[in-house]
Chain A
Amino acid sequence: MRVGVVCPYSFDVPGGVQFHVRDLAEHLIGRGHEVSVLAPADDDTPVPAYVVPAGRAVPVPYNGSVARLNFGPVSAGRVRKWLGEGGFDVLHIHEPITPSLSILALWQATGPIVATFHTSTLRSRAMQAAYPVMRPSLEKISARIAVSEDARQTVTTHIGGDAVVIPNGVYVDVFARAEPAPLWQGTADAPTIAFVGRLDEPRKGLHVLCDAVPQVLRSVPGARFLIAGRGDVDAARERLDPTARAACTFLGEVSDHDKAALLRSVDVYVAPQTGGESFGIVLVEAMSAGATVLASDLDAFRRVLDDGALGVLFAVGDGAGLADSLLALLADPARRARLRAAAGVAVRRYDWSVVGAEVLEVFETVSYGAQSVAEDPQSGRFARWRRP
């Protein structure tokens, strides 16, 4: 099957959508399908062979931060060319409601189109304002996939209709078989606890963990906290309680390889996020690697952890609650072993071998008996004036 995939975000910047697109593309290629990924990138940026660069992304203030996006007539032209040359059986568009390549592709294509919705935070007012232009494009989607129940609810509330839930995939064995790093491994007296996430993005919840550290150290003085993620390390260290600084090690941004080693080595992985999470792929990675997960009880995390059967939940934003739960976990190795065993079985559901097959089933369903993807003749620039 020839599959055209559109990623709205630049591969230069790490992000959940980009990782998902990359892993899915490689998985499908591994199964013998032909995949072409259109993504924002300069023509001279090194990209994997299956990626077609769509030109330089423009940094734009969007959604409260600066996103690198592609829009405008030049990008639209690139998308049209890619569609014309691709001869795809299926077009798979990610995060279609983003001012970038995805909506441009949706606008200009016709045929079997699958869209995957990743986010659970949709800006509905902006969408309403652009709705007259968006609706005809959104109507062309033959099948919608949501990566989580939260993302699905967003689709049903803001767009109407339904979506099939297919979670993000993880290469479970990459994590399960990662080589532990002795430096990061804990002992009975000095257990290790990991955090992975942007340091300076409040919703990642590092401050919640920091609040909990002094209380944990009072009961377990040897505990070590390994904090991985991009951001200003000095500022983060500055915010820590002075008694806690020695126990916290900042690792900076870690490679995929080091992340797997870290999660494989530590006793507990803490996810103190305070919101805006649609799925929680790191939780699955941590469980795959055999770390016990302690997470805030966001809906998304609650679902991944099966209401606490696979990991422990604490109230969102509650540093003291985090500390209590963490201390209880550290004091009870038998419980940790039970959770780890249950999680080790449950994560197989997220392995690419399962998830990839589900995505393929959707592709096959929509492309059955259908023409291949072609350019939509109605997508001329002035085709749809909204007459007052």
Chain B
Amino acid sequence: MNLPEWLLGLLVLALLAWYLSFSAARIDRLHHRVEGGRSALDAQLVRRAEAAVELAGSGALDPASGLLVAGAATDALDAGELADAGTPPPTHAGEPSRETAESDLSHALQLALDPDLVTAMREDPIGAALLERLRASCHRVQLARRFHNDAVTDATRVRAKPIARWARLAGRAQAPQTFEMDDEPPVALTR
């Protein structure tokens, strides 16, 4: 079977067009996945910080630990609000970036929740509820961050394909960034 050359050319063009539109849709879908993952992560980070604020104000911690946790948690909330407003991350000391602020909160919770305290708190129904809320939110932060970063990795890989770069399929959408933080939950809570 001998196809005329013009038909062959048309076929190739059609195939190329289909592939381009397929890739564009794929990138678009991945971008949406990144956005979805990011807002889920945002929500979980805010929940975690709120649970930490509640712990700080509960009277369960000694006031020094309470103030430490309250400081870290409000810093995290502030950094989150700045990030939502689209303000570029501050560079000078005194106002940590959101990733630093969230890592600091993990660190502060780690230091404040020592095993004896957690054991004692679990015997009180209010204390147990506080800890459970915090534990759940720490775990969800871990999950949400992993899902978000997976989406970013996928999107970055597809955006890096020659066809995507050559045809500028990503348009003007910014390259997605992974969210890097220490999200280790307090050791005493995971026991």
Contacts and interface: CB of A to CB of B under 8 A. Distances in A.
Our verdict on whether A and B bind, yes or no, reads yes
Interface of A: 58, 60-65, 69-73, 75-76, 97-101, 103-104, 106-107, 123, 125-127, 129-134, 137, 201-203, 381-388
Contact of B65 (A99, A123, A129): A99
Contacts of B103: 61
A107 B62 contact: yes
A311 B70 CA distance: 41
Given A70-B64, A126-B71, A385-B124, A58 B111 contact: yes
B116 A130 contact: no
Contact of A382 (B59, B66, B75): B59
A207 to B, nearest CB: 11
Contact of A202 (B59, B74, B77, B93): B93
B82 interface: no
A99 B61 CA distance: 11
Interface stretch (B9-17, B35-43, B50-58, B169-177): B50-58
Given A61-B108, A134-B63, A381-B62, A99 B93 contact: no
Central interface residue in B57, B69, B70, B124, by most chain A CB within 10 Å: B70
A76 B74 CA distance: 24
Contact of B94 (A63, A73, A75, A99): A63
26 contacts: A58-B111, A61-B100, A62-B72, A71-B68, A72-B65, A72-B111, A73-B114, A75-B64, A76-B64, A98-B64, A99-B66, A101-B64, A104-B62, A104-B64, A123-B74, A125-B74, A126-B75, A127-B70, A129-B57, A129-B74, A130-B63, A133-B56, A133-B63, A134-B66, A202-B92, A202-B93
Interface string B85-98: 00000001111100
A60 B62 contact: no
Contacts of A62: 68, 71-72
A64 B74 CA distance: 12
Given A61-B104, A386-B57, A130 B70 contact: yes
A177 B98 CA distance: 50
B73 interface: yes
B63 A107 contact: yes
Given A130-B66, A382-B59, 15 more contacts: A61-B100, A65-B93, A98-B64, A107-B62, A123-B71, A130-B56, A132-B59, A133-B58, A133-B66, A381-B60, A381-B62, A381-B117, A385-B126, A386-B59, A387-B126
Contacts of B93: 64-65, 201-202
B67 A126 contact: yes
**Contact residues of B: prevailing secondary structure:** helix
Taking residues whose C-beta sits less than 8 angstroms from the other chain, chain B's interface range is 35 or more
Contact of A61 (B63, B67, B72): B72
Q: What are the 9 tightest A-B residue pairs by CB atom distance, in nearest-first order?
A: A71-B64, A99-B68, A129-B70, A126-B71, A130-B70, A64-B94, A61-B104, A99-B67, A125-B74
Contacts of A134: 63, 66-67
A214 B66 CA distance: 49
A385 B71 CA distance: 20
Interface string B144-182: 000000000000000000000000000000000000000
Contacts of A60: 68, 107-108, 111
B60 A382 contact: yes
Contacts of B96: 61, 64
B83 interface: no
Given A71-B112, A72-B111, A73-B117, A385 B68 contact: no
Contacts of A382: 59-60, 120, 124, 127
A129 to B, nearest CB: 4
Contacts of B108: 60-61
Nearest to B94: A64
A72 B63 contact: no
B78 interface: yes
B53 A129 contact: yes
A183 to B, nearest CB: 33
A322 to B, nearest CB: 20
Contacts of A106: 63
Contact of A71 (B65, B70, B72): B65
A316 B152 CA distance: 43
Nearest to A200: B93
A275 to B, nearest CB: 10
B109 to A, nearest CB: 12
A84 B66 CA distance: 24
Central interface residue in B64, B66, B69, by most chain A CB within 10 Å: B64
Given A61-B107, A70-B64, A385 B70 contact: no
A76 to B, nearest CB: 5
